[in-house]
Amino acid sequence: MKDALSLSGLPFMKMHGAGNDFVVIDQRGRKSIVSAALARALGDRHRGVGFDQLCTIDDDAGADARLVFWNADGTVAGACGNATRCVARHLMDETGRNRLELRTERGLLTAEDAGGGLTRVNMGPPQLDWAAIPLARAVDTLHLPLPGNPVAVGMGNPHCVFFVEDAEAVDVAGLGRKAEHDPLFPERTNVEFASVLGSDRLRMRVWERGTGITLACGSGICAAAVAAARRSLTGRQVTVEVDGGTLSVDWRDDGVWLTGPTAHVFDGVLSPAFLAAHA
């Protein structure tokens, strides 16, 4: 006996935050059929839909919803700032509310309407030591023993932030892939290359763990801002220019707030044949 999804297909939404793009599957009220194999197939930009991350929305008794994030390689990530902001905007539009609590592996995150069409999320306090990030070696996270002297920051997922003279000149793919797989990071890492443009402005390019180069990475933007403030290169409020646009970060006592644009681009339905082929 076939269930409803295998007969009618699986609805999804396509969204992005500053070009960091997502397939979002709202599975509230029903069982999840998402697997690593389905995520990988769906993430294929030629044979699937294509995304930087797949995000599922589930019911949660103690929050407005629960979110899970999958990278294009089928791995699950503990945090995704931009997908959290996109889904928050969708749920705020749906409910007419301007503040929500969203459960993620990182914990309960508060998202708010920031006015002017922008959406902000509190990504929580940064994780600044190896025990919390969680990575392997007991070394100083402010000065990693790697060429380029990067900073490690956890935002619910691992980040390795390099400060460079000119982010435009960096071989993001080559150096990003290398650092992602450095033995210092047993769970691999996201990799950011940031240039300081002023005491409240960064330019950043990013290599995302499990996905590759993306136009923006919300948790990476937070990590770069935290790293810059820890190195006294900027204050705790910065705007960050990424390839997909400009976002702002405010590192407050209650956590790192990320603000930026979101877009709901189109809705679609995955065919029963696609689901059957990648079950």
The set of catalytic residues is 80, 217
The token pair that represents 186 in the structure block: 């047993």
**Shortest spacing between CB 129 and ligand LBFN2T5F, in angstroms:** 18
**Residue pair 235/7 in contact by the 8 Å Cβ criterion:** no
Which residue matches tokens 């396509």? 14
Task: Say whether residue 172 binds ligand LBFN2T5F (CB under 6 A).
Answer: no
User: What is the rounded distance in angstroms from the CA atom of residue 170 to the CA atom of residue 163?
Assistant: 11
User: What is the rounded distance in angstroms from the CA atom of residue 16 to the CA atom of residue 209?
Assistant: 18
Choose between 218 and 255: whose C-beta lies nearer to ligand LBFN2T5F: 218
Task: Say whether residue 249 binds ligand LBFN2T5F (CB under 6 A).
Answer: no
Task: Say whether residue 219 binds ligand LBFN2T5F (CB under 6 A).
Answer: yes
Task: Say whether residue 80 binds ligand LBFN2T5F (CB under 6 A).
Answer: yes
Q: How many Cα atoms within 13 Å fall on the side-chain side of residue 91?
A: 26
Task: Say whether residue 77 binds ligand LBFN2T5F (CB under 6 A).
Answer: yes
Task: Say whether residue 119 binds ligand LBFN2T5F (CB under 6 A).
Answer: no
For residue 151, list its beta bridge partners.
Answer: 161
Task: Say whether residue 211 binds ligand LBFN2T5F (CB under 6 A).
Answer: yes
* Cβ neighbours of residue 275 closer than 8 Å, sequence gap 6 or more: 5, 6, 9, 10, 33, 38
For residue 115, list its beta bridge partners.
Answer: 118
Contacting range for ligand LBFN2T5F; rule: CB under 6 A; set: 32-40, 163-171, 209-217, 235-243:
209-217
User: What is the rounded distance in angstroms from the CA atom of residue 154 to the CA atom of residue 141?
Assistant: 10
Considering only 119, 190, 234, 248, the residue that binds ligand LBFN2T5F (CB under 6 A) is 190
Task: Say whether residue 210 binds ligand LBFN2T5F (CB under 6 A).
Answer: yes
Residue 260: Cβ-neighbour burial (10 angstroms; 0-12, 13-18, 19+)? buried
Positions touching ligand LBFN2T5F (CB under 6 A) are 20, 52-53, 69, 71, 77, 79-82, 157, 190, 208-211, 217-219
Q: Residues within the annotated binding site? A: 20, 53, 71, 81-82, 157, 190, 208-209, 218-219
